[in-house]
Structure 1
Amino acid sequence: MRVPFIKMHGLGNDFIILDAREAQLPDLSEQTAAALANRRTGIGCDQLILLETSDAADFRMRIFNSDGSEVEACGNASRAVALMHGERACVETDGGIITLSPTNSGARVDMGEPAFEWDAIPLDYAMDTAAMPVSWEMLANPSAVNVGNPHVVFFVPDCEAVPLDRLGPEIEHDPLFPERINVNVADVRDGAINLRVWERGAGLTRACGTGACATAVAALKRGLVTSPVTVNLPGGALTIEWSEGSTIVMEGPATEAFRGSFEWADYA
């Protein structure tokens, strides 16, 4: 079975997008998702996105990390899908229903309301998620936020000085986080946030939309910045708007890289 795909990226965070809204595809296993994501023997991506029909929204977006694990949300992929779809849409994800709209420079996405309760992150036991009484070497007292998927946010003097390639996987797999965790390290300078992210199931990426949302929310709650705030990632900048009791709105670019097709049986 020959299957078409679109390769897109948001600030360098790249995706394979498969559209099963009209043409039905075989069931996508973790093994097939990981094989397609492999950068040496597959198409290569940080996340694979599968679009399906939905009874709850205009369509459904499923998200698979490069290790094949299925996750709840992806902000950069949401902008890419908005650009591909070409018009405003309500989209069902495992993290909730989001609203996305293409813009002249990319897309604007309403990511829904953040959650802060310890069991909504989730954590293994109850604690204050605004300043958690935990640490890993120089990383201490993070905030935890669920923005459709779980994030822990550390504010540091210089995010570039943190050995995130080493500490990221250690924190991601800590028993404190029963569903694993996305790890964000950030510093605040001149009213903007500089951010690096270790993504659960994908590792270090050029950008993470949900990480930018979670970090902006944590910084706003601590009074470190004002909304809207610019979040600078290695791949570029996003703008995040949020206030207490409201939804998170993310705006930024997305780009189509190329289109192609593959034989499903080669990766099944």
Structure 2
Amino acid sequence: MKTLTNLTKRYFRIILQILFFSCLIFQFKFGVAIWVSVSILFIFFGRIYCGFLCTRGSYQDWIGSLGKKIFKNKFDNFIPEKIDNILSYLRYVAMIAYGFFATSFFASKILDTIGGPNTNSLVNIIFSRKVVGTAIIVSLIEFTILSLLISRPYCRYLCSGSVQAGALSFAKIFKLRRNPDVCTNCHKCENICPMDVQITKMETVCDGRCVSCFQCIGSNGCPNKKALYLDMHPIRTFLNSKNKNQDIKVPEINKIRQIR
């Protein structure tokens, strides 16, 4: 029984990914409740949908696990950090393109209503089954190959949803915190992070790329639970930090008085 419990804890994220993936494939309908639950979790934990439930992210993780076995230490080290940062801006281009194409149907109807040029034929060509089907197959092949070399390439470089989700994740209630006094800078948390977040450079992990997968504090992540942890008491942390700031200011004021 203990073995089963340990396995469940270790592979909880993968089990959840498989369950959600199967729900979409076999069209198990849970209604609005599932999305309400995800929205609530988003407020508390940030991009937890991306880390635990997103089917595209799950697929990339599974292919990436194969890539780790093939390339070992070379996996996720094929692209230099500077180029990786530049490529991440492609997400904004994808977001603008998605917004343009998403509104094209609506725009074509308005133009048709006011007697403007008929754009329906152009829209039908762009969004025809052949074009869309070919684009899906080609992108699937491309990202399957890239996932063998890089961790979550689609999430890093082309996911338009990650831009909005990343901006909102800064306001999450429960945050990952790093204690620099305890941290030994072993970089295990960064090595396992699928989004290559520079965790050791922060005390509070607030990064738009973080997908709240919590692998950095898992069994293969930080070995010291006091060095990196999920802060479940944000109000207490805020009050403690406020008291520390006041304690620092008091001796400074006393020094000024002594000088005078």
Q: TM-score scaled by structure 2? A: 0.23
More strand by share: 1
TM-score by length of 1: 0.23
Which structure is larger by alpha-carbon Rg, 1 or 2?
Answer: 2
Which has a greater percent of helix? 2
